[in-house]
Amino acid sequence: MSDGKSIMVDTSRCTACRGCQVACKQWHGHPGTKTKQTGTYQNPPDFSADTWKLVRFSEGKASNGKPYWYFFSDMCRHCLSPGCMEGNKKDEIVQDKQTGAVIYTAATKNLDYKKVHGGCPYDVPRQDTKTKLIKKCNMCIDRLRANMIPACALSCPTGSVQFGERGEILKKVEARVAELKKDFPKAKALNADDVRVIFIVTDEPEKYHKYAEA
């Protein structure tokens, strides 16, 4: 397999417009999720079989007493060595040879969901309770095969979500982290050597999401 593709998610540029979240639903034809107000702008509360991209909202107070409000445009990391594939029996979960995208096929209904989900350190896979299919982001593989970029990257107005060849994305990530460190000493890329979807944060990862970093 070639070096494949990667996505950079720069949280410092995210405004929580949720354009990526909506674009994902629109492209894949997924319905909206009925939710209730729980005291946060995050909506829906978590991933589901029909929600593969989710902007997480996190707020609190730093050690200096100053409040923070962070946005984390969460999605499957498309790991280079996917733990979820340990639940495979045959080829129910595959890695696309050209892009490296981790694809769940219709045969996932035959897998042990707990084993697939348990293999993911980012708490991503979800099971459709009716069809028993296990689902998650597929990096818009149909768009990639048509020489289009993922819907989330296309819809992002600030450049927070950027898609490209893995080598080029890694260079962008390295340059962006170096730039951010001038003002944010804690800035870093999360698990860049192990995943294709690389998040950049400016503070401790756990302040964004408990499963932000493996």
Tens of pLDDT, residue by residue over 166-192, are: 999 999 999 999 999 999 999 999 999
Residues 214 and 72: their CA atoms lie apart, in Å, by: 15
Overall average pLDDT of the 139-145 stretch:
98
Q: Which fold has domain 83-141?
A: Alpha-Beta Plaits (3.30.70)
**What pairs with residue 201 in β-bridges?**
188
Q: Which fold has domain 5-78+145-207?
A: Alpha-Beta Plaits (3.30.70)
Overall average pLDDT of the 8-19 stretch:
98
The CA dihedral of 138, 75, 213, 42, to the nearest 10 degrees, is -170
Measured CA angle at 170 (ends 209, 185), to 5 deg: 55
pLDDT at 206 over 70: yes
Residue ranges per structural domain of the chain: 5-78+145-207, 83-141
Task: Give the start-end residues of each E strand in the chain.
Answer: 5-10, 54-61, 67-74, 93-95, 102-104, 126-127, 134-135, 161-165, 188-190, 197-201
Same fold, 5-78+145-207 and 83-141: yes
Query: Which residue is it, tokens 């993911």?
Result: 120
pTM: 0.96
Counting residues of the chain whose pLDDT is more than 90, the rounded percentage is: 93
Tens of pLDDT, residue by residue over 37-57, are: 888 999 999 999 999 999 999
pLDDT at 2: 55
